[in-house]
Structure 1
Amino acid sequence: MLNASRLPASIDATLALLQGQGYVADRALATVLFLALRMKRPLLLEGEAGTGKTEIAKVLAAGLGRRLIRLQCYEGLDLASAVYEWNYAGQMMAIRLAEAGGVAEDRERLEGDIFSEKYLVKRPLLQALEPQEGGAPILLIDELDRTDEAFEAFLLEVLADAQVTIPEFGTIKAAEPPIVILTSNRTREIHDALKRRCLYHWVGYPDAARELAILKAKVPDAPAKLSKQLVGFVQAIRKEELFKAPGVAETLDWATALVELDAVALDPAIVSDTLGALLKYQDDIQAIQGSRVKELLDQARAEVGR
């Protein structure tokens, strides 16, 4: 593991950091990640679900020895869940105690007390601006495309200035900006204003050689013949007209399932029986069932050799 206070000094060192955590990256990804770290710019990763975008933030945090703070986005995400909220119960208790005590405190002083830091409930974005042991944290803003444009607009201050403005409290600015990774499955377009504040990389499906390397790293118990046929089949199936092509995550799930079944090679029967580990929509499974399974399996065998 690298010293927590040190970032990789080169693209090769960035590749080594990722590989040291079991993440098989290509050089293009390592390059943009290295630049994001050196330039202290947020990195926006787009791509299909299951291509390893979220994992990049996780392995970066592990490799650098930094805390990972994750904000999982969803429709309707608001500031109270993402940034901060006030401990209203505690504030009400303080007001009632002041009234019961008969203390003639002026209104301004009481407001200053109840809107102090001790009543501030910090959510992921605000936590990421605080000093952390071992250096600035990795802030993962995951699946940003699930939120709305209003939330994107709020993020502009965080991404550009590493600060949050709370009307009742003031502006909180990070002494050391967090390392920010944003991901999007591109279910909608991210606004240009946010993209301009980030470096960008599209995380696509890996080629056969890299997917085989990923499989060997993540499912080392899979027999060599099975792994090659499995990767060939997945590469072939991604060329089909499917509602959702399988990502790397599904490849690993399928490999793990086949290992549990003590499979040493693919055949039409075991492929048909286990497609639910690879494909997540019934229409896709039906489209591949029957003779199409054998055709794709023959393609996979021809590519990797028997």
Structure 2
Amino acid sequence: MGSKVSLPNSIEETLALLSSGGYLADRALATVLHLSLRMKRPLFLEGEAGVGKTEIAKVLAATLNRPLVRLQCYEGLDISSAVYEWNYAAQMVEIRLSEAAGKVERENLTTSLYSPRFLIKRPVLQALETTERGAPIFLIDELDRTDEAFEAFLLEVLSDSQVTIPELGTIKSDEPPITIITTNRTREIHDALKRRCLYHWVDYPNAERELKIVETKLPGAAKALSEQVVAFVQKLREDDALFKKPGVAETLDWATALTELQEVALDPEMVSDTLGVLLKYQEDIDRIKGSKTKSILDEIRMEANSQATIAGSMHMPTA
């Protein structure tokens, strides 16, 4: 289980905390996360799929030694799946036992049936339970997949860290959970919910930070391969004609796949053969493989040679 870990006291400590969990954040993200933790406000993270939004909650749970409660959102998500439901089978058994014992006082039986022992707690209620290690990390993942009715329900949870159950009353947490909300922006989230959160757009990392991420996550990958993989992905993201640009998750998957194939550098044939790891739509694969792949690789090599020439000239001895 382990002991309770204190929250970071500065932006630098927040950066260090994330880094200790293998997450290389930029300062802007660390700043808003630090404020979210200190102000006890939910953090609303928006961005393309695969840029590392969900991973932030996982890293916080690991580094702060808190339980992670994950509410995976989907179309049709309702209160019985997200918050609570009654154990109807156990309630029926209770009714039969009461009838057999001749104790069928309607009012007392109703009170007994709707007591906490018959309550099945789903993620929202679980997130309101504080442990000896502190409040849980509550991940509301891909909120944009649900409907506006469920959004409206969440307002009470996000504002007051409580849930109202008609048969029991209001259940309130002793300490607000550390709430991370993610969305891929497939639809707009209502302003009423956003107002209750701090907001941050998680963008694709620049080449330098993405290379550090690959080197951190895949220390066994060849240096040249890691550099070329990152450079190739960065070039792909400049192509606005792609249906779905690759995220950091895809970069790591591709670097892992190429390492498994014992590749030490990119070549056009191997890139075309493994594009299905990096791109998830056939139209995108058809667009990139072949001549487009060779063109990108040639561009990457030219840039690498140019940088090497500049670096060499800077170190040339002067007369």
TM beyond 0.5:
yes
Identify which range, 255-264 or 94-103, moves more after superposition: 94-103
Please tell me whether the aligned partners of residues 3 and 64 of structure 1 are also in contact (alpha carbons under 8 angstroms): no
Equivalence for 2:66: 66
1:81 aligns with 2:100: no
The residue aligned with 1:268 is 268
| Amino acid of the structure 2 residue aligned with 1:217 | T
1:40 shift after superposition: 0.3
Give the TM-score of the pair, scaled to structure 2: 0.93
Partner of 2:251: 251
Contact 1:143 1:185 in 2 (8 A): yes
Mapped partners of 2:304, 2:13: distance in 1: 32
In the alignment, what sits opposite 2:6? 6
Q: In 1, are the aligned partners of 2:136 and 2:178 still within 8 Å (CA)?
A: yes
Report the Cα distance in structure 1 between the residues aligned to 2:128 and 2:289, rounded to whole angstroms.
Answer: 51
Amino acid at match of 2:138: L
The letter for the 2-side match of 1:131 is: T
Q: Which residue of 1 aligns with 2:119?
A: 120
Gaps of 5+ in 2: 309-319
Partner of 1:227: 226
On the 8 A contact 2:43/2:198 being kept in 1, the answer is yes
Match of 2:217 in 1: 218
Cα distance between partner residues in 1 of 2:104 and 2:56: 56
User: Could you tell me how far 1:131 is from its partner in structure 2?
Assistant: 2.0
Secondary structure of the corresponding residue to residue 71 of structure 2:
strand
* Residue of structure 2 equivalent to 1:34: 34
* CA drift at 1:4: 2.4
Q: Are 1:171 and 2:160 counterparts?
A: no
Could you tell me whether the CA contact under 8 Å between 1:4 and 1:65 is conserved in 2?
A: yes
Q: How far is the alpha carbon of 1:300 from its aligned partner?
A: 2.1
1:208 aligned residue: 207
Q: Deviations over 1:191-245 (max 9, x none)?
A: 1000000000000100000000000001111111111111110000111110100
- Partner amino acid for 1:220? P
Mapped contact 2:128–2:161 kept (Cα < 8 A) = yes
Residue 95 of structure 2: aligned partner: 95
Q: Which amino acid aligns with 2:121?
A: K
Asked if structure 2 preserves the Cα contact closer than 8 Å seen for 1:232 and 1:303, the reply is no
TM-score (norm 1): 0.97
Question: In the alignment, what sits opposite 1:237?
Answer: 236
Change (3 A) 1:109 1:303: farther
C-alpha RMSD of matched pairs (Å): 1.2
Over 3 Å counting, the alpha-carbon distance change for 1:140 and 1:95 in structure 2 is same
Q: Distance in 1 between matches of 2:168 and 2:61?
A: 31
Question: What is the DSSP-based 3-state SS (H/G/I as helix, E as strand, rest coil) of the residue aligned with 2:63?
Answer: helix
Distance change in 2, residues 1:295/1:179 (3 Å): same
- Secondary structure of the structure 1 residue equivalent to 2:44: strand
Distance 1:163 1:299 in 2: 55
Stretch deviating more after TM superposition (236-245 or 296-305): 296-305
Q: What amino acid sits opposite 2:231 in the alignment? A: G
Q: CA deviation at 1:3?
A: 6.5
Asked whether the equivalents of residues 48 and 247 of structure 2 are also in contact (C-alpha less than 8 Å), the reply is yes
User: Is the Cα–Cα contact under 8 Å of residues 232 and 301 in structure 1 kept in the other structure?
Assistant: no
d(CA) in 2 for partners of 1:109, 1:5: 44
SS of aligned partner of 1:165: strand
- CA gap of 1:14–1:304, structure 2 versus 1, over 3 A, is farther
Distance in 2 (alpha carbons) for counterparts of 1:295 and 1:73: 40
User: Of the two, which has the highest radius of gyration?
Assistant: 2
Partners of 2:186 and 2:303 in 1: how far apart?
33
Identical amino acids, percent of aligned pairs: 69
Q: Which moved more, 1:61-70 or 1:7-16?
A: 61-70
Q: Deviation per CA, 1:1-28, whole angstroms, max 9, x where unpaired?
A: x972410000000000000111010000
SS in 1 for 2:224: helix
1:197 and 2:196 are equivalent in the alignment = yes
The CA distance in 2 between the partners of 1:92 and 1:234, in whole Å, is 58
Q: Secondary structure at the match of 2:189?
A: coil
Supply the distance in 2 between the matched residues of 1:280 and 1:185 (Cα, whole angstroms).
16
Counterpart of 2:292? 292
**2:67 and 2:136 in contact (8 A); partners too:** yes
